[in-house]
Chains A and B, each alone.
Chain A
Amino acid sequence: AQTVTQSQPEMSVQEAETVTLSCTYDTSESNYYLFWYKQPPSRQMILVIRQEAYKQQNATENRFSVNFQKAAKSFSLKISDSQLGDTAMYFCAFIPPRYNQGGKLIFGQGTELSVKP
């Protein structure tokens, strides 16, 4: 079975500091895609960042970057210069190749991040 695990249910960080959210996954596939989604109190699911497994270079989006370790099946999210608006639930998600499971996003349990002033 393919699974995604986020071992940190809750985290907090001071404004302007850096925080790293952990995610590990399990799959026998060699090509897949990984995502981080943000869910603020409004409950909207917002894409933060996307990583293709065949790319060795870690994806970055402004203050958000990932540390993708394919051999270790690890996909952590680093948020630099944390802002109050970063307060949200963060979900790590994995999608297997198209031929497998029809494009289902497999989600972790989520990490609740609080940014404190």
Chain B
Amino acid sequence: EAQVTQNPRYLITVTGKKLTVTCSQNMNHEYMSWYRQDPGLGLRQIYYSMNVEVTDKGDVPEGYKVSRKEKRNFPLILESPSPNQTSLYFCASSLGGLGGSTDTQYFGPGTRLTVL
């Protein structure tokens, strides 16, 4: 089944404790992205990747890191989480490449993160 998976689905942590949210897609998509969803703000892009080893900042990158060492994986890293990073996080992927990253983006199931 074609899908985007994220782990963990739920996470409660404390301020300053490094964490990683994994994202994996099995559709051979070149484009991957992370969004956070907050009430009244919709979804906002954190980071995106056009291909392996190519990443760039979105609208709200502060406090986050990403890496793209393999085409299928795009982990989101919070080196020192803070309470304002409590949010619902989505990973998404699309065909991208020469076809353009205007292709339809497919979303993972979301990760609910709470930072105390």
A interface with B by C-beta (< 8 Å): 4, 32-33, 35, 37, 42-45, 47, 50, 91, 93, 95, 97-98, 102-105, 107-110
Contact = CB atoms under 8 A, between A and B. Distances in A.
23 contacts: A4-B42, A35-B104, A37-B107, A44-B109, A44-B110, A91-B43, A93-B43, A98-B101, A102-B48, A102-B56, A102-B101, A103-B33, A103-B48, A103-B94, A103-B100, A103-B105, A104-B33, A104-B58, A105-B45, A107-B42, A108-B42, A109-B41, A109-B42
A63 to B, nearest CB: 19
The prevalent SS among residues of B at the interface is strand
B74 interface: no
> Which 3 A-B residue pairs are closest in the complex by CB-CB distance?
A103-B101, A107-B42, A45-B107
Contacts of A45: 43, 90, 92, 107, 110
Nearest to A105: B105
Interface of B: 31, 33, 35, 40-45, 48, 50, 56, 58-59, 88, 90, 92, 94, 96, 100-102, 104-107, 109-110, 112
